[in-house]
Structure 1
Amino acid sequence: MSKHEMKMYQSTEDYLEAILMIKQEKGHCRSVDIAKRLDFKKSSVSIAITKLTNEGYVIKNEDGMLELTEVGLKLANNILERHNFFFNWLRSLGVDEERAYDDACRIEHAMCDDTFHKIVSYVRGRDNGNS
């Protein structure tokens, strides 16, 4: 995967994760909510939502509310699981909350599923005294 493809995929993941988190917090999500969450211009979010809609990850209702498709929801849940795992793990190591959040955001995109699951298994095994 090229750096350009990785950056595009990371951007997609960031948007899908933001939509999921906003929907969990507020019960609904609009483009303006994403712009606030990610600190992006509304016009940039609009372009991205159009792209995500065309790729089959998001549905934009007539009232402007955003819904994740089945594929979009699966991806969003996957990336949120990674984020939460790395955030909690870093916090357990004594990393301060803001740094742990920022680092988890970077780490969550950096590895394949197999590597992630092996790290989770290793960490959980150590937590249970099975090292």
Structure 2
Amino acid sequence: MQIRKSAEDYLEAILMLSKQGSAVRSIDIATMLGVSKPSVSHAMKLLREDGYIAMDRYGTVTLLDKGAEIANHIYERHRVLSSLLERLGVNPEVAREDACKLEHDLSDESFDKIKEYFLRNISEIE
């Protein structure tokens, strides 16, 4: 499950946008990530070619199983890390930004221990 950080960001954004209940389109992804539409188009092409997403003729983006697995993995890391940082007193916006940095580089072992500690001592992930 080794892919680039930027691809993980795109997959996570697609997941988060899909949780809002409406169809996910490239413009929504561009807005959420603060990138240009051509950048999103290029990323969607690569993700589609690698079997992470599907796009219909209307431009609606859907995660395929392989993409959903990665997106859920990254999103869980983001939620746990940002919640933990906020509980430690970090400003929520800073906590979200720092979680974005940490979620990609933290080893599975370290993340699992953080999550275990968090759940044992705090018991609620926001």
User: Normalised by the size of structure 2, how large is the TM-score?
Assistant: 0.90
The aligned counterpart of 1:67 is: 62
Q: Superposition RMSD on alpha carbons, in Å?
A: 1.6
Deviation at 1:112, TM superposition (A): 2.6
1:109 partnered with 2:104:
yes
Deviation at 1:105, TM superposition (A): 0.6
Distance 2:77 2:60 in 1: 26
Q: 2:28 aligns with which of 24, 33, 58?
A: 33
Q: 1:121 aligns with which of 106, 116, 120?
A: 116
Q: Tell me the amino acid that sits aligned with residue 112 of structure 1.
A: S
Q: Rg bigger for which structure?
A: 1
Distance 1:59 1:127 in 2: 38
Distance 1:21 1:123 in 2: 22
The aligned counterpart of 1:49 is: 44
Distance 1:71 1:65 in 2: 18
The aligned counterpart of 1:3 is: none
The aligned counterpart of 2:11 is: 16
Superposed CA deviations along residues 32-80 of structure 1, whole A, max 9, x for unmatched, are 1000001111001000000000111010111100000001001101100
Question: Any gaps of 5 or more consecutive residues in structure 2?
Answer: none
Deviation at 1:113, TM superposition (A): 2.0
Q: Percent identity?
A: 40
User: Normalised by the size of structure 1, how large is the TM-score?
Assistant: 0.87
Distance 1:70 1:83 in 2: 20
The aligned counterpart of 2:53 is: 58
The aligned counterpart of 2:82 is: 87
The aligned counterpart of 2:91 is: 96
